Structure 1
Amino acid sequence: MRALFFFFFILHLQVVCSSFSPSPILCSSEQSVALLHFKNTFSLYKHSSQFCNGYPKTESWKKGSDCCLWDGVTCDSFTGHVIGLDLSSSWLLGYIDDDSSLFLLHHLQKLNLACNNFLKSQISPNFSKFTNLTHLNLSYSSLDGLVPAEMFLLSDLISLDLSNYDLSIDQHGFNKLWQNLTELRYLHLNNVNMSTVSTTSLVNLSSSLISLNLRNNQMQGKFPNEIFLFPFLQRFILSANEHITGNLPGFNKSSPLKELDLFNCNFQGSLPSSLGNLTEITFMDLSWNGFTSQVPTSLSKLVQLTWLSLAHNNFFGKFPDVLGNLSKLETLHLSVNNFSGQLPTSIFNLNGLLYLDFLIINFKAEYRHGCLLCHLWRV
């Protein structure tokens, strides 16, 4: 018994001692030097990340310490290679050129440089050297110019966010995108100028997309209905593309759409009754389009909605009394249409409603349910 006790005591002692032994440094000197050189090419300026909450992550980077422990750096626990770099909202102010030491980190799988100020740097073709990248975010970092076609050779990309005000993608680059980035699940090109890209070529995007943001891309022409029917698409934003025309397709019952934003496009026609098949949708903005006819009663099936905007269209007739089912609704815009008749009384049952807009329409409020303004004040 004593021998057994002594054995477990020694085993416990070894475990305790090992927990106090210094961990081996994982990061190689080459990677540390590359990261420190990258750090030193930038100034830290708080307003470089003025639209994003952040802090200067690179302040924790010190020569002689293990770079795998630095803020924003992730290493492979076995090889020590730097595989992740997240310097989003890190107050970085400076340029990224072709000679940047960033491109020496060949093993990167995830790179996030969003919300910094790179002073109108153009995206270097050397980003194509990151052949292991699965996630790349360069959004809102003051990048400029044409996105090089080499960027779209990163065939393992799952998530790509290039949202910037001064970037552009031409047809050649977009063709490379859909031909090579077949694993994409998240594609965000908010405010990227795609005025030379044909809308018909959008159908070639990966049908496995989960999130697609094409806001304010300056595209022109008829939008292909096939995009709406991508089997995994949950978030689709096309807003502020006033030169895009189209109509809504018939939606499948299996549609996983949770967010649909078509604000300020030029869609026409009527709303299909199959809109009621979007039972997972929480946000729907169809405002500032040219939709006509009556609003379908199938709207009552969209019980997960928290935001609904049908404002600035050409809807007419009586608005269906479907609002009572939309118990989660917080925001409702119905203004500038041609509705007539009485405002559905079910609107007063929406206890969670925070914002209601039905100005400049021909609704009549039912006084028998009490003062309309009193109800709105209570809401």
Structure 2
Amino acid sequence: MITIIWSLCLFFCLSHSTLVLAKHLCLPDQRDALSEFKNEFYVYKLYSFMDDKKTETWRNNTDCCSWDGVLCDDKTGNVVELNLYGSELNGPLRSNSSLFRLQHLQSLKLGSNNISGILPDSIGNLKYLRDLDLPYCSLFGKIPSSLGNLSHLTTLALSDNDFTGELPDSMGHLNNLTELHLGWAMLNGKFPHLLLNLSSLMWIDLGSNQFKGMLPSNISSLSKLEVFDISDNSFSGTIPSSLFMIPSLFELNLGSNDFSGPLEFGNISSQSNLLKLDIGENNFYIVDFSIFLHFKLLEVLDLSGNHLKFSSTPHLLLPMIVYLDLSSCNISEFPKFLENQTSLQELDISANQIKGQIPEWLWRLPRLQVVNIAQNSFGGELTMLPNSIINTFIASDNQFSGEIPRAICELDNLGTLVLSNNNFSGSISRCFKNVNSSISILHLRNNSLSGIIPEEIINDGLRSLDVGGNLLSGKLPKSLINCTSLAFLNVENNRIKDKFPFWLSSLPNLQILVLRSNQFYGPIFSPGYSLSFPILRIFDISDNSFSGVLPSDYFVGWSVMSSFAIIYLNGLLPRDFLYDIHQRSVFLTVKGVERELVGSGYDIYKNFDVSGNRLEGYIPESIGLLKELIVLNMSNNAFTGHIPPSLSNLTNLESLDLSKNRLSGSIPTELGKLTFLEWMNFSYNKLEGPIPIATQIQSQNISSFAENPGLCGAPLLKKCGGEEEEAKKQEQDEDEKEEEDQVFNWVAAAVGYVPGLFCGLTIAYILTS
């Protein structure tokens, strides 16, 4: 009996399990739609840090509800959520895509894929959608009006795309919308008044677009608004005071617009919950700093780039302020009220007119971590007090002198130190070993520092090292080989004497290498090393004493210079590196002129400069692999042989300098196809033959072809041999034609004269007879 009971129990358990399993199997039509959708795209690794091909788990013999990124309704088996964020999908989203057969979708997340194309009207057929997330997708064209059909939509994210035009009026029907993310979407027009009808909106992001005009005065009708971001547009006029009266608002970003006039907040509610206020980079005139005391909970305040005046009294207290940006505010004295800001963690007072010394009380603020006093007139010796929590100190572009204070070495958590463009002297202290476990950005360029680069300043986490423009000597520290995060290395304009650091090619994140104007020597190729810089975008070793030849395959493996690629380091997006990037600076020779490349300019430049060395032999044909190169400078060396025709593959090239070598043969006619090539120099070589006839070549200055005795043709005054013979023949032909014309005219005149004479005599005879 017991056996029967156990058997029945087991039967019912198995039956129930089977029913449950059967219940969760997705429907065949849903599986087919997903499979077809997968096949509409091709998958490749777009970003170096991503390895998230979710669709690899999609196999026909498995339950599609168990596939990565797929969520089904427990009862019906319909697919209700599709999340393929960052799955390396490539290809357009077609209007007849099988995606639109998933009629029960409530959440669609396809962000960070290369779905380049127009967002089809068919998107409006997914009538149950609540969450539509398509940022970073390379979408373009107009936002379809069919989005207005998605009446259940609560979150719409289309940021970081390339849309055009304005928002469709139909979006005014999205009454359930609570979050709207349209930052960096290339939209234009005036502020979308249709948004004022969407009373449920809690989050509006229109930042970094091309909107203009004034804000509507009745913007306070968005009574549930919590985050409002319209930064980096062209809005103008004054800010409606009603905006500050929305009780739920806790983040307000109005920076980088054209707002002007005195800043007024009106009758701010005592219950204001504003935590962040960014009105930087506008044209406000702020007379009374105490107006910010109305915001009792304010933690982040950005007033940069405005006209600011405030009392020097030290009693002004913003009790909760954590981040304060007063850069470019025409301040001439160090703000004394900061002494009482005990919650302050980050302070930026850069680009002002402050003189003298840093007050000692600044270092005593108990929570201070980030200090930026760059671009002022601070002078004398830099005095600091030990502060164990300071992690960022930027004091570049001032007038500090003397040695770098040893107190810096007592900042145990120091991660960023920027002292560039001052008058510091002496050696770089070895005491940096006290902080070398944490420092990732060290910039000491354009001072008068001498001695060697000590090994003690190098640590495994170093990401950016700039000691250019000093008097440093010795060799490059070999410990740099351990810096696997190193992206930026600049030692230009020093007295470093060393062989080429082949070992740097083992650094996986190195993007910028500048060794120019030192005393480096020897070959830049060695059979024992694989010189492959996969993500290097700037390679400048000019004005040294490098020698030897380049093998034919020298440029194999320079991936970023060879093909379009977006490089994100350590899993971070480019904007997360802006603070780092804006501290970087190098001088490059572009189009024959030395220019400083600062900040985000690194994103577009791809530069290869070996000029001013002793390199010889042929220029390798493999240079044609560097298709993304913008600047190529191999001048002032001893290269021989012909100019490789493969240069015509460098379709993005804007500046080419091959002058002062021993190159022979002709200028390849294929270079005429380089439509972006604005500047070129072939002077002081042994080139010969006609200069190719192409607009960008013919438009060059005559000096670009000077001292090549065998060259001929425009823009040189010297005509080519064939041209001279042709011109002489043409001249002879013209002379002969002129003689023939003269003979013809004489014959014609003679022919006309004889009949005329005969007729005249005949008439005369008749009249006289």
The reply to whether TM is greater than 0.5 is: yes
Partner of 1:125: 121
CA contact (8 A) 1:324 1:350 kept: no
Q: Is 2:27 the partner of 1:28?
A: yes
Q: Which amino acid aligns with 1:281?
A: L
What does 1:13-162 correspond to in 2, within 5 Å? 21=18, 23-24=21-22, 25-47=24-46, 55-118=52-115, 120-162=116-158
Q: Relative to structure 1, is the Cα distance of residues 200 and 63 closer, same or farther in structure 2, using a 3 angstrom cutoff?
A: closer
What does 1:306-317 correspond to in 2, within 5 Å? 306-317=299-310
Q: Which amino acid aligns with 1:125?
A: D
Deviations along 1:259-310, one digit per CA (max 9) or x if unpaired, are: 1111101112333355675742332211001111324424235454443210
Indicate the SS of the match to 1:297. helix
Q: Is 2:384 the partner of 1:374?
A: yes
From 250, 264, 276, the equivalent of 1:258 is 250
Q: Comparing 268-277 with 35-44, which one deviates more in the overlay?
A: 268-277
Provide the C-alpha distance between the structure 1 equivalents of 2:21 and 2:192, rounded to a whole number of angstroms: 56
Post-superposition offset of 1:184: 0.9
Indicate the SS of the match to 1:232. coil
Q: Relative to structure 1, is the Cα distance of residues 166 and 108 closer, same or farther in structure 2, using a 3 angstrom cutoff?
A: same
CA contact (8 A) 2:245 2:268 kept: no
TM-score normalised to structure 1 length: 0.83
Q: Is 2:180 the partner of 1:187?
A: yes
Q: Percent identity?
A: 28
Partner of 1:220: 212
Q: Is 2:206 the partner of 1:211?
A: no
Q: Which amino acid aligns with 1:68?
A: C
Q: Relative to structure 1, is the Cα distance of residues 304 and 376 closer, same or farther in structure 2, using a 3 angstrom cutoff?
A: farther
From 265, 283, 292, the equivalent of 2:285 is 292
CA contact (8 A) 2:300 2:324 kept: yes
CA contact (8 A) 1:113 1:137 kept: yes
Higher relative contact order (CA 8 A, sep 6+): 1
Q: Relative to structure 1, is the Cα distance of residues 17 and 241 closer, same or farther in structure 2, using a 3 angstrom cutoff?
A: same
Indicate the SS of the match to 1:236. strand
CA contact (8 A) 1:345 1:366 kept: no
CA contact (8 A) 1:260 1:284 kept: yes
Provide the C-alpha distance between the structure 2 equivalents of 1:106 and 1:247, rounded to a whole number of angstroms: 43
CA contact (8 A) 2:319 2:341 kept: no
Q: Relative to structure 1, is the Cα distance of residues 143 and 366 closer, same or farther in structure 2, using a 3 angstrom cutoff?
A: closer
Q: Which amino acid aligns with 2:21?
A: S
Q: Is 2:227 the partner of 1:230?
A: no
Indicate the SS of the match to 2:324. strand
Q: Relative to structure 1, is the Cα distance of residues 371 and 233 closer, same or farther in structure 2, using a 3 angstrom cutoff?
A: closer
What does 1:306-345 correspond to in 2, within 5 Å? 306-318=299-311, 324-327=317-320, 329=322, 331-339=323-331, 343-345=335-337
Deviations along 1:38-71, one digit per CA (max 9) or x if unpaired, are: 1122222222x56x86611111111121111111
Corresponding residue pairs, total: 367
Indicate the SS of the match to 1:23. helix
Over 6 Å off, 4+ runs: 9-16, 363-366, 375-378
Deviations along 1:186-235, one digit per CA (max 9) or x if unpaired, are: 1111123332x333625534122110001122112111143356211111
CA contact (8 A) 1:121 1:143 kept: yes
CA contact (8 A) 1:214 1:237 kept: yes
Q: Relative to structure 1, is the Cα distance of residues 348 and 98 closer, same or farther in structure 2, using a 3 angstrom cutoff?
A: same
Q: Relative to structure 1, is the Cα distance of residues 322 and 97 closer, same or farther in structure 2, using a 3 angstrom cutoff?
A: farther
TM-score normalised to structure 2 length: 0.43
Indicate the SS of the match to 2:124. helix
Partner of 2:171: 177
